[in-house]
Structure 1
C-alpha cells in the first residue's frame, strides 16, 4: 500500500514525521542527562541539566550535523505540543481536568521552546565565536526572571501540578491511550514509561519545593534541574538516589524513543 502522492499530500502528512523527530530529540536529551547523572552518582557529585546535555551535543565532533538536527527536532516537538493543546487532538475536552492537561502541554511547549532557544543561541554564537557566551547570557537572563519571588510561587504550583500529573499518568498507564503497538511491545513500553514518568514527576516535585522556598522567602534565587539534582544528592543515601534518578531518566529516554515510533500523531483531528 503506497502513501499519498505529492499532489494529495497535506500539511498533516508533513507534520507527522516532524513531530516524531521531536519525541526523538527529547529522548536524546534525556539519554545525555541520564549519562551525566549516572556519572555524578558514581563520583558523588551533582548532576547536570538539560543545558549540559545540549552543550555536550553542540560541542561534540559531530555537532555540525547533530546541532541543526536537534534544533529542527525540538521545534517539531514544541509545535506538536502547541497543536495538541490548542486543537485538542487527544480529546481532553474543556472540563477542569482536560484544561489542566492542555495547560501542561503548553507548559511543555514553553519548556522545550526555552531549550530550543538556548540550543540555537549556542549554535549561532559558535558560528561566529569560539565560546558559548551567548547561550550562557540568555540562560542567566531567563534565570533572573524565573527566580523572582512572585514568579517562583506561580511556577512552584505549575511544577507541582505537572509532577503529580506525571506520576498519575504512570500509575494509571494513561499513556497507553496514545500508543499504537502490540501487546507484547506495550509490556516493554510499560517498564520504560512507568519508571521514566515517575522519575521525571518526582524531579518536578523537587523543583516545585525549591521554588516554593524561594517564593516564601522573597528571594531571587532559582530552581533548575541541576538544583533539584543537587538537592537529591544532598539527601541521605544521596548517591543511590541520584543513581536511581539517572536510571529513571534513561527509562524516560527509552519511552520518548518509543513515542517517536508508536505514538499516535493524530494531527488530522486538529
Structure 2
C-alpha cells in the first residue's frame, strides 16, 4: 500500500510539473511571437484538450492532478514528514491542505471538460472575489484572501533563498553537474512563481480597496499586468522561470524522497 501511495505522489508531482512547463512554454511563445497565448493553470487544460488525442491527455492530466490532491491532503492529515502540531508545523500542514484545495478545483475543472465537454473556466479569481464582495464586510474578506496569496508568494521566495529545497535534491546523490542544473532550476523557478503569485496578491488587494472584482485575477491576469507595466522582455524572463519551476518538479517527481 505504501508503494502505491508513493507512485500516486510521484505521478501527482510530475503532472504539476508538466502543467507549469506548459504554462511557461505558452507564455514564452506569446512574449516572442504572435502564435502563443498567455495562460494560467486553468487555461492549460483547454490547450491540452485541443491537441491530437486531447481527451486522452486531459484524462491523464486529471488523474495526475487528483494524485497530487491526494498527496497534499495526506501530507496535511497524516503528517508523514513529521512537521508536528506546533504553530510552525500546523502552518506548514495548512499550506499543504490549501494547495490540495486549489488543485482539487483544477482537477474538477478537468473532469468537467472531460465528461461534459465544458469549457475550462481557468483559475480566474474574479468569481470568488464577486462572491466575497457580496457578503457582509466583503472588502475585508477579499483583503484576507489577498493576504493569503501574499503569504504564499513570500513562502515561495523563502523556499528559493533559504535553500531548503536543495536538501532533497542533494539526498538523491546525482552527478554534480546534473545536481547544479536542478538546483539552479529550483532557484529560478521558485523565484518566478513567488513574483507571479505576489502580483496576483496585488491584483486582489486592488479589488478589495476598490470593491471591484474585475481588478482581481489569476496567473493570466498577472502576465497581462507584467506585460503592460514592465514589457515583453520581463514577461519572457518570468515565463522561462515558470518553465524552470515545472522542470524542477519533473525531476523532483523522480528523485525526491517520499515519506509515507
Aligned to 1:34: 24
Distance 1:182 1:239 in 2: 38
Q: Which residue among 161, 183, 187 is the counterpart of 1:194?
A: 187
Specify whether residues 98 and 231 from structure 1 end up closer, same or farther in structure 2 by C-alpha distance, changes over 3 A only: same
Deviation at 1:139, TM superposition (A): 6.8
User: Does residue 121 in structure 1 map to residue 115 in structure 2?
Assistant: no
- Pick aligned residue for 2:129 from 121, 146, 153: 146
Q: 1:91 to 1:186 in 2, by over 3 A?
A: farther
In 2, Cα distance between equivalents of 1:46 and 1:124: 25
- Equivalent pair of 1:193/1:251 in contact (CA under 8 Å): yes
Q: Which runs of 5 or more structure 2 residues have no equivalent in the other structure?
A: none
Tell me the residue number matched to 1:81: 72
Give the total of aligned pairs.
248
Moved over 4 A (4+): none
Q: Deviations over 1:23-43 (max 9, x none)?
A: 111111111101111022114
**Alpha-carbon distance in structure 2 between the residues aligned to 1:234 and 1:139:** 20
Contact kept, 8 Å, 1:159 with 1:208, in 2: the verdict is yes
1:207·1:224 contact (CA, 8 Å) conserved in 2?
yes
**SS, match of residue 80 in structure 2:** coil
| Structure 1 residues 79-137: Cα deviation after superposition (integer angstroms, max 9, x where no partner) | 101111122222222333322222221111111111101111111123xxxxx34x44x
Summarize deviations over 1:45-97 as a string: whole Å, max 9, x none.
97211122111112211223212111111001011011111222222223333
Contact 1:118–1:139 (Cα < 8 Å) also in 2? no
List runs of 5+ in structure 1 lacking aligned partners.
Answer: 1-10, 127-131
| Backbone CA RMSD of aligned residues | 2.0
* 2:256 equivalent in structure 1: 263
Offset from partner CA, 1:200-229 (integer Å, 9 cap, x none): 011111111110110122223332111111
Query: Deviation of residue 145 (structure 1)?
Result: 2.3
Q: Which residue of 2 aligns with 1:25?
A: 15
Q: Which residue does 2:242 correspond to in 1?
A: 249
SS at match of 2:28: helix
Q: TM-score, normalised by structure 2?
A: 0.88
For 2:242 and 2:109, locate their aligned partners in 1 and report how far apart those are by CA, in whole Å: 21
SS in 2 for 1:223: coil
